[in-house]
Amino acid sequence: MRIYLTSIFVDDQDKALAFYTGILGFEKKNDIPVGEFKWLTVTSPGDPDGTELLLEPSDHPAAKTFKAALVEDGIPGASFAVDDMNAEYERLTALGVSFTQAPQEMGGVTTAVFDDTCGNLIQLVAQ
């Protein structure tokens, strides 16, 4: 068994796609109209058959409440691995990404947390 798909709720799918591809560097895999929304997924660069991240619309009232509670408590909605935390932090900061937690050592890993501009906090982890 392996993880095939995971999702994150986003305020605006087009804005999320622009951020996740143009800023973070993920690659669009699926962009399929489904009613007023899309089945919109991205994958890691160079791994198009790897785990997909679904940019799920957060129009459901429960999703909005859930996202707001996570952000209020400082809890990331997703966690992404990076090879070089300092380089990634500098790259993203230069692109205007707002970090709520600068890189810091936490028990054998280095973590940082940023705002994805779509209603979520995202954690970066480097081992």
Q: Provide the whole-model pTM.
A: 0.96
Q: Stretch 87-102: mean pLDDT, rounded?
A: 98
Q: How many residues does the chain have?
A: 127
The pLDDT value given to residue 65:
96
The pLDDT value given to residue 85:
98
Gap between the Cα atoms of 15 and 29, Å rounded: 16
Among candidates 3, 8, 4, which has minimal Cα distance to 79? Answer: 8
Work out the burial of residue 53: count CB atoms within 10 Å of its CB; fewer than 13 is exposed, 13-18 middle, 19 or more buried.
Answer: buried
Gap between the Cα atoms of 119 and 49, Å rounded: 27
Domains in the chain, please, with CATH? 5-126 (3.10.180.10)
